[in-house]
Amino acid sequence: MRDDKYQEIKSSAKGIYKEKGSKFVAYSYPVYSEQEVKEKLEEVKKSEHAARHHCYAYILNPDKSTQRANDDGEPSSTAGKPILGQIISNNLTNILIIVARYFGGVKLGVPGLIRSYKTAAGEVISKTIIITKTIKEQYVVGFQYPQMNNVMRLVKEFDLEVISTDFHIECKLIFAVAKSKTNNTVHAFKKNHEITIKYINTI
């Protein structure tokens, strides 16, 4: 069975970490596109405009296929990578974490920077509510009215989430099903040659 569960944060949060006078202000946001990432980054740059650096990392999509990290002028891999590491170790996706740093006059060195950005990211994650979601696939089923009982029996049997129905002359029903259950579900519908079933998209 394929794993069709993934974790997101429910809402945005803010955390603060201090190290030798430097202040690290961390923000976490649920995001679903690179456009949203840009917008949130602009927001934080405005609200924390006096910060010397605005470092960030994000992961998008249920399969975590888009991952980015940015050091924003800090030494290479001392900021974005530790932030990304915290997202990965907490098994999260569709999340952006931005850490704004105010320099306190004392250089922290590479190990100090890595530790600080990692701690700040961990701090803001600890303030969020993590929710588990299921990757689902949507299908449209077409049938004539006499097949109604058969269709509804399958809907009940496979515990399908009905999105919309249109029971006029040509009946149509759209449902969502957990990705791991799609093969068995589609096979059951296809066994009845008087019913058509077509994949729409993955949500």
pLDDT tens readout for residues 46-102: 999 999 999 999 999 988 999 999 999 999 999 999 999 999 999 999 999 999 999
Across the range 140-150, mean pLDDT stands at 94
Among 132, 161, 182, identify where a domain stops.
132
- Averaged pLDDT for residues 17-28: 96
Give the residue numbers spanning the domain of 148: 135-202
Q: Are residues 114 and 156 in the same domain?
A: no
> Cα–chain-centroid distance for residue 118?
20
Which H/E stretch holds residue 19? Answer: strand 13-19
Q: Are residues 54 and 120 in the same domain?
A: yes
- Residue type at 136 in one-letter notation: K
Boundary-marking domain end, from 104, 132, 160: 132
Same domain membership, residue 96 and residue 41:
yes
User: Is residue 32 very low, low, confident or very high in pLDDT (cuts 50, 70, 90)?
Assistant: very high
Please give the Cα distance from 102 to 38 (Å, whole number): 21
Q: What is the pLDDT of residue 1?
A: 34
Whether residue 112 sits in one domain with residue 67: yes
Instruction: Look up residue 179 and give its DSSP letter.
Output: G
Within this chain, do residues 141 and 119 fall inside the same structural domain, yes or no? Answer: no
pLDDT at 168: 83
Phi-psi region of 147 (alpha: psi -120 to 50; beta: other; left: phi over 0): alpha
Task: Tell me the per-residue pLDDT of 167-197, one tens digit each, with 9 for 90 and over.
Answer: 887 899 999 999 989 999 999 999 999 999 9
Q: CB of 13 within 8 A of CB of 133?
A: no
Phi, psi for residue 199 in degrees, rounded to 5: -70, 135
- The percent of residues above 90 in pLDDT, for the chain, comes to 92
Q: Is the pLDDT of residue 28 over 90?
A: yes
CATH number at residue 167: 3.30.70.260
Instruction: Say whether pLDDT at 3 is over 80.
Output: no
R_g of the chain computed on alpha carbons:
23
Cα maximum dimension of the chain: 78
pLDDT > 70: percent of the chain: 99
3-state DSSP: the chain helix, strand, coil percent, rounded to 5? Answer: 35, 40, 30
pLDDT of residue 2 exceeding 70 = no
Q: What is the mean pLDDT of residues 161-167?
A: 95
Same domain as 190, residue 160: yes
* Number of independent structural domains in the chain: 2
What pLDDT score was predicted for residue 26?
98
